[in-house]
Chains A and B, each alone.
Chain A
Amino acid sequence: MTARIAWRATALIVLAAPLLTLVLQAFSTRWFFPDALPAEWTLRGWRGIGSDDRTLSAFGTGVVVSGAVTVASCAMAWPAARVLARSSFRWRGPVMVVLFVPHLVPAVGLAIGLDVALLRLDLAGGRPGVVLAHLVTTIPYTVAILTAVFTRHDDRARQQAAVLGATPWQALRMVTLRLVGPGLVVAALFSFLVSWSQYLVTLLVGGGRVVTITMLVFSSVAGGNPTSIGVLALMAALPPLLVLVLAGRIAVREIVDPTASP
């Protein structure tokens, strides 16, 4: 029992330590070696860059873009995954390889390639283009996860409901979604996180007009001001953390008690 507590405490410290450092950095300045803790505490970071109009609007842009990407990514992956999950479908391997190709090429190559392609289609330079570009990076994950989900999923439960008179909408909501819910949540989570972490794709395809908080974090890290980095990184960590906690709760509840009402 004590061993288990000790193990948990260690895991917590290892996981939380980097985040804790960010918190300390965000509220301090001139924290140099050999000081173990910051000597000068300040809210300057939060009053300055943390509450700057540009930062707040970049935060909003990030949430809108990644939210849209998540919904679109799951919606597009759903039918694809159902087909891929069929045992009669023989091209699953090759299709997966093709989907993951964007993650095999260097990030700069992918970003410039997407930029050129979307510029030619006259879709670059705004949020819709950025959403489309992000989808290229998130869809492999959502398809892979949902394919795994549908491979184990038995569609006869829904058919049963249909036979018993459920409308398609009822069958989807009360049967299918209950069964694949946790998998869908995980797919959405991945999609959000992958989209949220994009820098170069957003910068290039967005043509400088779509500025997300992640872009601010990247340029701030390049500059090395620990206070600003701390503030921006904490702000940028918030939505993924929220999504993670939310997803964890939903997924766990669905697995533990599939009958609980959503």
Chain B
Amino acid sequence: MRRTSFPWPARTIGLIMASLMAITACGSDDDTGSGSPSASGSVAEILDPSDWDAVVEAARGQTVNWYLYGGSESINRFVDETYGPALSQRYDITLNRVPVADTVDAVNQVLAEAEAGTENGSVDLIWINGENFSTLKEAELLLPAWAEAIPGAALVDWDNPAINLDFGVPVEGQESPWSSAQFQLVYDTARMSADELPRSYAAMKDWACAHPGRFTYIAPGPGAFQGTRFVKGALYELSGDPALWKLFDQALWDQWSPALWAYLDELAPCLWREGETYPKDENELHALFANQEVDFTITQAAVGPGSLIAEGLVPSTAKAFVFDANSIGDFNYVTIPANAANAAAALVLANLILDPTLQARQIVPENGFGLGFAIDVGRVSDPAQRAALDTAAASLGDAAAPADELARALVGDAAAEYQDLVEQGWRENVSGGL
């Protein structure tokens, strides 16, 4: 009896497991292009971006796995409809857009593969900026010095510190710009007229305290750079000169940070929920704004809330505006991990992103992306392309802030060291250790 007491399990389980593996295995690799035939551990060394024809040839038939924040449906659609067809038609490359809830998930994948010593990495391209870039760069896990060597780099103003520094970290050709962003506020024209708007941090505090609970900002912290940026702008205004903050100076920080915390502490009781809690990201703030709990939200897009309106996230009467000064602008990028299995296709895609025709497409609000140009329009010599860019720049829609006001208020980001100081100091001094 003992001998036959387990009649079913052993062999049957083995069979089931084997057939399950077989079933799940088929179809799982058919559309991937993972570990492409020519790829080896030294892809990065073989590829020379200055020999562009060889890169394009190597990329033929590859699938580029592009990890990007998948939360915006309009951006997802823009990527699928713009880059997907262009890649397949012009270069015989398949685009596999991998949606992640947070870019840090893609960073974790690269770190895990480094830990495991994987040579044919699954991440080919990441939409990235700020601390995620600096994490990968410090770990030396990025493809070195390619961004200034691809053909499209000729259209990028690499001498601009807003481009060659990412949150103050030198880019050194390890990422290539996709688009530009600038800190702006959004109001609802149905609730407020343009001449009532506060146009400085001082005026914002007065407005907030005259309308208690109707304003708040995003809690500064990793992954919520818009909040950090709002606080940095206040630091610029208080110190009176944004240029002071380009290089790191501890004494300067010690001199001005008390005034910064004093300003934010005075502002706090006038905020939504009396500053006891803050929205953790843009989307929470958009929802508060859309549901009329607060009267302002924050955006970084050239089209203002144009894409948000198209997606139905905020009322169609929303419109962007900027303070008279201290509106921090920067760029966002794509980067290639050093172990990317399809690095050649990733290079082709990073270069395609800089194509003037596609750059023109990306800023028009109807197309759903809505962030600004990465390229310097002045460097585009082809008249047709130049015309397309100019037309696009003139069709940002009614929700966009006036271009001259944006340009007048634009300032660069502070040195990288201030990022942590602002975020940590805010937690200690303003939020009371949230």
Interface residues in B278-311 (C-beta closer than 8 Å to A): 283-284, 286-287, 290-293, 311
Min C-beta distance of B194 to chain A, whole Å: 22
Pairwise interchain contact A33-B24, C-beta atoms closer than 8 A: no
Q: Which residue of B lies closest to A218 (CB)?
A: B101
Q: Which of B27-35, B149-157, B265-273 contacts A (4 or more CB under 8 A)?
A: B27-35
Pairwise interchain contact B71-A220, C-beta atoms closer than 8 A: yes
> When each residue 27-70 of chain B gets 1 if its CB lies under 8 Å from chain A and 0 otherwise, what string results?
11101101000000000000000000000000000000101011
Min C-beta distance of B121 to chain A, whole Å: 8
A64 on interface, CB distance cutoff 8 Å: yes
Min C-beta distance of B309 to chain A, whole Å: 9
User: Of A29, A75, A116, A199, which contacts B17 at CB under 8 A?
Assistant: A75
Q: Which of B106-114, B199-207, B249-257, B353-361 contacts A (4 or more CB under 8 A)?
A: B106-114
Q: Which residue of A lies closest to B117 (CB)?
A: A120
> When each residue 168-208 of chain A gets 1 if its CB lies under 8 Å from chain B and 0 otherwise, what string results?
11011000100000000000000000000001100110011
Pairwise interchain contact A125-B115, C-beta atoms closer than 8 A: no
Q: What residues of chain B lie closer than 8 Å to A222, measured between beta carbons?
A: 69-71, 101-102, 283
Interface residues on A, range: 35 or more
Pairwise interchain contact B105-A200, C-beta atoms closer than 8 A: yes
Q: Which of A91-99, A223-231, A241-249 contacts B (4 or more CB under 8 A)?
A: A223-231
Q: Which residue of A lies closest to B5 (CB)?
A: A155
Interface residues in A110-143 (C-beta closer than 8 Å to B): 111-112, 115-117, 119-120, 124-128, 131
A255 on interface, CB distance cutoff 8 Å: no
Q: Which residue of A lies closest to B22 (CB)?
A: A128
A219 on interface, CB distance cutoff 8 Å: yes
B123 on interface, CB distance cutoff 8 Å: yes
Q: Which of B92-100, B325-333, B344-352, B421-429 contacts A (4 or more CB under 8 A)?
A: B92-100
Q: Which of A1-9, A13-21, A209-217 contacts B (4 or more CB under 8 A)?
A: A209-217
Interface residues in B3-18 (C-beta closer than 8 Å to A): 4-10, 12-13, 16-17
User: Of A203, A209, A216, which contacts B29 at CB under 8 A?
Assistant: A209
Pairwise interchain contact A29-B312, C-beta atoms closer than 8 A: yes
Min C-beta distance of A246 to chain B, whole Å: 20
Q: Which residue of B lies closest to A108 (CB)?
A: B108
B192 on interface, CB distance cutoff 8 Å: no
Bound: A87/B214 CA distance, A: 65
Q: Which residue of B lies closest to A210 (CB)?
A: B28
Pairwise interchain contact A219-B71, C-beta atoms closer than 8 A: yes
B390 on interface, CB distance cutoff 8 Å: no
Bound: A49/B80 CA distance, A: 12
Pairwise interchain contact A72-B17, C-beta atoms closer than 8 A: yes
Pairwise interchain contact A209-B70, C-beta atoms closer than 8 A: no
Known interface pairs A116-B115, A116-B116. Does A49 touch B73 (Cβ–Cβ under 8 Å)? yes
Interface residues on B, range: 35 or more
Known interface pairs A30-B315, A219-B71. Does A209 touch B113 (Cβ–Cβ under 8 Å)? no
Q: Which residue of B lies closest to A44 (CB)?
A: B312
Pairwise interchain contact A128-B25, C-beta atoms closer than 8 A: yes
Q: What residues of chain B lie closer than 8 Å to A127, measured between beta carbons?
A: 24-25, 27-28
Min C-beta distance of A81 to chain B, whole Å: 10
Q: What residues of chain A lie closer than 8 Å to B96, measured between beta carbons?
A: 208-209
B23 on interface, CB distance cutoff 8 Å: yes
Pairwise interchain contact B291-A32, C-beta atoms closer than 8 A: yes
Pairwise interchain contact B20-A119, C-beta atoms closer than 8 A: no
Q: What residues of chain A lie closer than 8 Å to B409, measured between beta carbons?
A: none
Pairwise interchain contact A79-B6, C-beta atoms closer than 8 A: yes
Q: What residues of chain A lie closer than 8 Å to B311, measured between beta carbons?
A: 225
Pairwise interchain contact B283-A223, C-beta atoms closer than 8 A: yes
Min C-beta distance of B69 to chain A, whole Å: 7
B135 on interface, CB distance cutoff 8 Å: no
Q: Which residue of B lies closest to A33 (CB)?
A: B291
Bound: A178/B231 CA distance, A: 66
Pairwise interchain contact A224-B99, C-beta atoms closer than 8 A: no
Pairwise interchain contact A116-B112, C-beta atoms closer than 8 A: yes
Known interface pairs A72-B17, A171-B7. Does A219 touch B116 (Cβ–Cβ under 8 Å)? no
User: Of B4, B13, B284, which contacts A168 at CB under 8 A?
Assistant: B4
Pairwise interchain contact A209-B291, C-beta atoms closer than 8 A: no
Pairwise interchain contact A224-B283, C-beta atoms closer than 8 A: yes
Pairwise interchain contact B21-A128, C-beta atoms closer than 8 A: yes
Bound: A108/B72 CA distance, A: 23
29 A-B residue pairs with CB within 8 Å? A32-B290, A40-B312, A49-B73, A72-B17, A72-B20, A76-B13, A78-B9, A115-B112, A115-B113, A116-B112, A124-B118, A126-B24, A128-B21, A128-B28, A159-B1, A162-B4, A168-B4, A168-B7, A172-B7, A204-B105, A211-B99, A219-B70, A219-B101, A222-B71, A223-B72, A223-B73, A225-B72, A225-B311, A225-B313
Q: A78-B9, A79-B6, A203-B105 are in contact. List 20 more A-B contacts (CB 8 A).
A: A34-B292, A54-B80, A71-B20, A78-B13, A115-B113, A119-B112, A126-B29, A127-B28, A131-B20, A168-B7, A203-B109, A207-B123, A208-B109, A209-B122, A219-B69, A220-B71, A222-B102, A225-B73, A225-B311, A225-B313
Residues of A near any B CB (own CB < 8 A)? 29-30, 32-34, 40, 48-49, 54, 64-65, 68, 71-72, 75-76, 78-79, 82, 108, 111-112, 115-117, 119-120, 124-128, 131, 155, 159, 162, 168-169, 171-172, 176, 199-200, 203-204, 207-211, 215-216, 218-228
